[in-house]
A and B are shown apart, each in its own frame.
Chain A
Amino acid sequence: MDINEIDKKIKAEAIRQHTVSVDPNAPKSGTTTINMTDGVLIPKKEEKHVLTSWRLTFFGAVILSAVLIIFFPDPYRTIFLTCLRGAPVTFEVTVFSIIGAVIIGTFTGLGSVSKRRWINMICGVYVELIRGIPLLVQLIFIYYAVGSLFHVEGLIAAIFSLSVCFGAYMGEIVRAGIQAIPKGQMEAAIALGMSRSQAFRYIILPQTVKVILPAIGNEFISMLKDSSLVSVLSLEDILRCGRMYISRTFLSLETMLVVALIYLMITLVLSRLVGLLEERLHKNG
């Protein structure tokens, strides 16, 4: 062996021994690389970890449901069919109230950054009021208030009250999104002769949408879950269908397991979709 080669090997060995790897998954032997990643603390999407935790929960829920339906058709198949009858109502309530909440939230958000003080005031009071009262209490209150004043259908009253409740949170998201846009954008638009409303329409809001879409996606998921509260308003959503079944059969544990599984599966699918949306937005810069 050449003396140079030995020298090289000794040096390489010395480097290897002094290499500190903070990544426990890094190969212990082989090439000497200093692996400085934050992969352990903040798992990235590409790394298997996050995907498997999602997969584990999702496929766990799917498999459990399948097993229950196939091997214990009595009573689980009936429970599933009964509870799923409430799914359209749950979706209807969620989708329409998110539309309502986005509309209310956009106006509230714009109002919070308005130059007129009294508009700020109205929006601020609305947000404080809604945030300070439990959702369930508001829901029942608004439902009865709307119901007694306008004599509308239960579904519409429920959608209205959920929209009002979530509009406040959405307003805060929109406000934060608008304020996240650098001040220079507004100044550049104004300097080009645009009016404030033109600047908002063509410059500020399109950028805000990009910033807040992930947050709105998460709000969508939490609204889907909170839509179960409308079951107290005698709307036949998934939860209420389950509870009606319990009152007929007294199979409370089994029914609630199924209700939980249905919500879990829907929510997990949605959260995955939100994740994908977020990734696409990042890619498009």
Chain B
Amino acid sequence: MAKIEIQNLSKDFNTPNGVLHAVKNASLTVNDGEVVVIIGPSGSGKSTMLRCVNGLEKPTSGHILIDGTDTADPATDIRKMREEVGMVFQSFNLFPHLTVLENITLAPIKVKKMPKAEASELAMKLLKRVGLEEKAEVHPAQLSGGQQQRVAIARALAMNPKAMLFDEPTSALDPEMIKEVLDVMLSLAKDGMTMLLVTHEMGFAKAAADKVVFMDKGEIIETGTPEKMFTAPENDRAKDFLAHIL
């Protein structure tokens, strides 16, 4: 069953130099429990597409269906949809004025009206899962980049999302911290979480992805299994790109 369905999505930005077509008529389906990795050169519209999925950007045209519900439908509660799709950002975006525990419990308490004790218990469980239970009372500034990103993942998981979006989760990290974040993501994938990622970690794509999508200049050029994409891509641009990063 399709968890996330992107149908003919287009997104234009008005810039001083004219209209920029960030995403052009892209369609993509992420099935339940699937891990889909989007790759492509910078400026190819990967992040924009991801941001459209949880409504941070409003699509110019096209539809996004989450669990069969159209986000463009005026009757749809867009906030409800966002609760169901967790998002992890490149720059972590933890709330610096709150402790790690408060970062995780804030949304469940305020949005889901969960009792505080229950939220704290859930947060501790999630912190244990990402291996940071001893950092609950610390402020984000005292954590390393890798630890911050793991907290950000725990924060997104606290809303019990049906799917997770990752926007270059390891791009802002030092090499030695990338692994700890990827390990958390791998364990999520193993547990059957539906995931849509933008990443340049080809090792992760090989290990966990069910599908790899290559985007260039706002278009989805090629879709395939990781084995096929990494060994024998059909498209020339994809070949060229993969030759550079593999």
What does the 1/0 interface line of B75-112 toward A look like (CB < 8 Å)?
00001101101110101011111000000001100111
Q: Chain B residues near A203: list those with CB within 8 A.
A: 95
Nearest to B55 among chain A residues (CB) is: A190
C-alpha gap A202/B156 in the complex (Å): 17
Q: Are A206 and B56 in contact (CB-based, < 8 A)?
A: no
Segment 166-191 of A: residues with Cβ below 8 Å from B: 182, 184-185, 187-191
Assess A193 versus B111: contact at CB under 8 Å? Given A187-B56, A203-B95, A285-B141: yes
C-alpha gap A285/B94 in the complex (Å): 15
Chain B residue total in the interface (Cβ 8 A): 28
Shortest CB-to-CB span from B61 to chain A, Å, is 22
Give the number of A-B contacts (CB < 8 Å): 63
B21 in contact (CB, < 8 A): no
Q: Chain B residues near A187: list those with CB within 8 A.
A: 56, 89, 93
Task: Pick from B55, B80, B107: contact of A192, CB below 8 A.
Answer: B107
Q: Are A184 and B89 in contact (CB-based, < 8 A)?
A: yes
Assess A193 versus B97: contact at CB under 8 Å? Given A198-B110, A285-B139: no
A67 in contact (CB, < 8 A): no
C-alpha gap A220/B156 in the complex (Å): 41
Q: Chain B residues near A188: list those with CB within 8 A.
A: 87, 89, 93-95, 152
C-alpha gap A200/B137 in the complex (Å): 23
B54 in contact (CB, < 8 A): yes
C-alpha gap A191/B157 in the complex (Å): 12
Assess A192 versus B93: contact at CB under 8 Å? Given A198-B111, A202-B110, A285-B141: no
A210 in contact (CB, < 8 A): yes
Segment 153-201 of B: residues with Cβ below 8 Å from A: 155-156, 159
Nearest to A210 among chain B residues (CB) is: B97
Shortest CB-to-CB span from B105 to chain A, Å, is 11
Task: Pick from B79, B95, B96: contact of A193, CB below 8 A.
Answer: B79
C-alpha gap A33/B55 in the complex (Å): 57
Q: Chain A residues near B94: list those with CB within 8 A.
A: 188
In the A-B complex, the 6 residue pairs with the smallest Cβ-Cβ separation, listed nearest first, are: A193-B83, A188-B93, A184-B93, A192-B107, A191-B87, A193-B111
